[in-house]
Amino acid sequence: MSDSKPTPNYWWATFANKCPRCRRGPMFSNNNPYRSLKADMILEMPEKCPVCQQKYDLEPGFWYGTGYVSYALAFAMSVTTFVAWYVLLGMSIDDSRVFWWLGINSVLLVVLQPWLMRFSRVVYLRLFVHFDKEYENHQPKEFD
């Protein structure tokens, strides 16, 4: 029998908002981004991962880069909904289908914004902190 723990799946850990270093610890204090719609509650994070002690805020102002990731995710989602709308319903200047798409896409982006804000933090941190199978034996990554 092997004493090693199974490696958590990359995609599961990303979409479940888990620490990128150990893929086990939660990145946010509460799993539900819609619990309270205040920005400080949506993005409430512990200082370090409770499993591997990886510091989440790597340097002052670190999370400003998530604005670019969030923008890219919103743009990708808008392109995806546009293509789906075009393939399924088509676009025409003779009726208001394009305006219906704009309205539905806008509502979708507003409703998904708390989740997008969290997901952009997860994706952004994964650019700098990589999975370490031997996280118990190594020190967490520090930038300060």
pLDDT one-digit tens code per residue, 14-45: 999 999 999 999 999 988 888 887 777 888 99
What's the pLDDT score for residue 144?
A: 55
Q: What is the mean pLDDT of residues 66-85?
A: 95
HEC string of 34-79 equals CCCCCHHHHCCCCCECCCCCCECCCCCCHHHHHHHHHHHHHHHHHH
Instruction: State pTM to two decimals.
Output: 0.84
Residue 36 CA to residue 124 CA, distance in Å, equals: 23
Tell me the mean pLDDT in the region 47-57. Answer: 91
d(C-alpha 143, C-alpha 55), whole Å: 9
**In this structure, are residues 55 and 47 in contact, taking their beta carbons and an 8 Å threshold?**
yes
78: helix, strand or coil: helix
pLDDT of residue 1: 45
pLDDT tens for 106-122 read 999 999 999 999 999 99
Among 34, 10, 5, which Cα is nearest to 122's?
Answer: 10
- Encoded tokens for 48: 């370090």
d(CA 18, CA 96): 42
For the chain, which residues make up each domain, given as ranges?
10-128
Task: Calculate the average pLDDT of the chain.
Answer: 88
Are the beta carbons of 13 and 45 closer than 8 angstroms? no
